[in-house]
Structure 1
Amino acid sequence: MLAAIDALCRGLEPRLAPGLMIQRDNPGETPQQWSIREGEVPVLAFGLIDRTFFWTWDEGVSNHYSKSPTLMTRIIIAELARFGHLV
């Protein structure tokens, strides 16, 4: 499952709009979480809880979950593109 997160990060990194970056939020802690940030402002947080992928656009107010890395990747890429965060 971490391989899916690594692949997502590698695929997104070169496509992120200027000023955005991917960051590991809590190395060595659980749940494992990464974020896409514009400066200090998180645009998206995503990661793993046990064997379930999660992502949120609003700092955890609403969370989305999937067991499928393909579904998670597809939704994250589509939403980032829709909001103009990908080039």
Structure 2
Amino acid sequence: MVNNYFKIAWRSLVKQKAYSLINITGLSIGLLACLIVSTVVIDELSYDRQWSKADRIYRVLSVSNVIKGDAPQPLTFSGLGP
């Protein structure tokens, strides 16, 4: 039964080459985008997780008031940290 499905799929791929190429290309681009996004998300979620007390790590920001609004900057002088 499964063998019959593969035969029908192969015949369809051979018969409609352009349509099959477009579908396979779209599927591969979609899978590649999904892998890239998941890699970035996993990397961002694992940031600073190598420390034993990772749940106690905080980030100190310096917020500057400019004409267009607030501008948070991750760079601060040493007096703000511990």
Could you tell me the TM-score, scaled by structure 1's length?
0.22
Q: Say which structure, 1 or 2, has more relative contact order (CA 8 Å, 6+ apart).
A: 1
The answer to which structure has the higher strand fraction is: 1
The answer to which structure has the higher helix fraction is: 2
Larger Rg: 2
